[in-house]
Structure 1
Amino acid sequence: MQFIKLDAIGSTNDYLKEISRQNLLENFTTVTAQTQTNGRGQMGASWETESGKNLIMSVLVKKIIQSPESIFHLNIAIACSIFTVLEAHKIPNLSIKWPNDILSAQKKVAGILIENLFKSDTEIEAVIGVGLNVNQQNFDHLPQATSLLNVSGQEFDPDLLCHEIVHQLIEYTTLIVEGRTDVLWDFYKAHLFKKGIPMPFELPDGTRFMGIIQDVDTNGRLHVMQEDDTIQHFGVKEIRLLY
């Protein structure tokens, strides 16, 4: 695989998509940057980061997803990859917040944005963007964010973490190719944030209600039991977890 290191870029995802259009890149080609001026998260949210303190990376994934119906498997694979690497480094109180944020002690340490490139009916490439807060300490403007340094008391090498995450991603995407996605799903659901615990939710119109996360299906929809014991299914843009 190829690793491309940049000093500053608008978006590593945009850069990787552009060079993949112009060149035949190896599977799992990875781009990292010290500074990203136009980082994006889920649902158009910006991703702010201090220069040189964190891991900003994008990975090109090819020949893994064969149909639109199986796209969410890739979300599971990258979330589990980051979780596994951080767990190996003894980061405490880890969980995966639906759909794929990584939390430590209920604060966000990593966010993931996957952009799918449909090449044909049977060929889907994906660019996986990851923002991992590593050695940044100040999150005054982001009260629900933290870093590996803040939660563990020690600094980490972002380049080492990048290589470890990519190698773990290769291992977990092999499970997708082999049709063993149940292994990934079992891992994901075992570490799903607030699963089975009553918590507040908010709908796009501002309505709030108490519910209990029951499951996540293969389309990525969250199954929430409401107070009348009915179970509703929600897509990523259709509900927000309040915590």
Structure 2
Amino acid sequence: MKIIDAVLGWFRPDAITTEPQVKRIRLETVDSTNSFLRNYTPAADEPMTVAVAGYQTAGRGQGENTWESEAGKNLLFSVLVHPVMLPVRSQFLLSEAGALALKEALADYVKDGIRLKWPNDVYWKDRKLSGTLIETKLGGGHIKDCIFGVGLNVNQTVFRGDAPNPVSLCQILGHEVDKDELLDKIIRKFSDFYHLLEMGGYNDISAMYHEALYRRGGFHRFRDADGEFDGAIVEVEDDGHLILRDRDGRIRSYQFKEVEFIV
């Protein structure tokens, strides 16, 4: 896989090229990389587009959440793909594939403790290393476009927002990390997992995702609309529902935002 750089006001002008493959667009400042790609029209021979920003003025997390990031310290990027081969009912596989790509790339730096917190956060032990905002555009019973917006804490060491448990690679490792090198690894892993989806490897991706789940074994504390309870993860269904079993043996099914992990 070849990564092609297109530079918009940042980095090397000689990196501009019109070759196909994965196109990476570098932006010095943008409201959000998801918003940029939502309004972007890729070339016909451009199956995957990556927009990476030095700073986002309106970076978003899930729902109404914002994403805190010190300028130039972290990886803020979005990936645009066109997974028309994937039925709408199976779209959560995209979330699984994206989360696995991050986990596998980070494994080159952190050998232990990296897990995937449902639906697609990346955790180191009990602390949040990365979050993803996924947006899809549907058509004809398939997914026309999918944008993965990723905020990954890399070299930031002080977090002043109200997020309860952030951590960065620099804090874990005790030294800064080359962000470009890390991004290259993530894009390549993403391309690998996306190709596996194209080849119909749905069961493989689902199995790897379940194996990597945060709090995969035993009972842990959760909170839903009725209060706190102990639950054990049974599975994550193809449509993204989290299935828990409480201590009374009752099976509980949740969509995103209907249940909270108590960390």
Task: Tell me how far apart the structure 1 counterparts of residues 134 and 146 of structure 2 sit (CA, whole Å).
Answer: 7
Task: Tell me how far apart the structure 2 counterparts of residues 120 and 9 of structure 1 sit (CA, whole Å).
Answer: 32
**Which 5+ residue runs of structure 2 have no aligned equivalent?**
1-21
Q: Is the 8 A contact 1:16 1:60 kept in 2?
A: yes
* 2:159 aligned residue (122, 136, 139): 139
2:16 corresponds to: none
- 1:127-166 equivalences under 5 Å are 127-141=147-161, 142-166=163-187
2:30 corresponds to: 9
Q: Is the 8 A contact 2:157 2:168 kept in 1?
A: yes
Task: Tell me how far apart the structure 1 counterparts of residues 40 and 111 of structure 2 sit (CA, whole Å).
Answer: 34
* Residues 1:165 and 1:23: Cα distance change in structure 2 (over 3 Å): same
Q: CA deviation at 1:41?
A: 1.3
* 1:196 aligned residue (207, 217, 222): 217
1:124 corresponds to: 144
Q: CA deviation at 1:160?
A: 1.7
Q: CA deviation at 1:197?
A: 2.0
Deviations 1:105-130 (A, max 9, x none): 21011111110012443342101101
2:97 corresponds to: 77
Deviations 1:92-143 (A, max 9, x none): 3111100110011210111111100124433421011010000000125333
Deviates more, 1:172-181 or 1:51-60: 172-181
Question: TM-score under structure 1 normalisation?
Answer: 0.93
Task: Tell me how far apart the structure 2 counterparts of residues 65 and 100 of structure 1 sit (CA, whole Å).
Answer: 22
Name the aligned partner's letter for residue 127 of structure 1.
I
Name the aligned partner's letter for residue 176 of structure 2.
E
- 1:182-221 equivalences under 5 Å are 182-203=203-224, 205=225, 207-221=227-241
**Which 5+ residue runs of structure 1 have no aligned equivalent?**
none
* 1:52 aligned residue (72, 75, 88): 72
Higher helix share: 1
Q: CA deviation at 1:240?
A: 0.8
* 1:42 aligned residue (27, 52, 62): 62
Q: Is the 8 A contact 2:68 2:159 kept in 1?
A: no
Question: TM-score under structure 2 normalisation?
Answer: 0.86
Task: Tell me how far apart the structure 2 counterparts of residues 132 and 123 of structure 1 sit (CA, whole Å).
Answer: 25
Task: Tell me how far apart the structure 1 counterparts of residues 48 and 204 of structure 2 sit (CA, whole Å).
Answer: 21
Task: Tell me how far apart the structure 1 counterparts of residues 85 and 134 of structure 2 sit (CA, whole Å).
Answer: 13
* CA RMSD after TM alignment: 1.7
Name the aligned partner's letter for residue 192 of structure 2.
E
Deviations 1:74-107 (A, max 9, x none): 0010100000000122353111100110011210
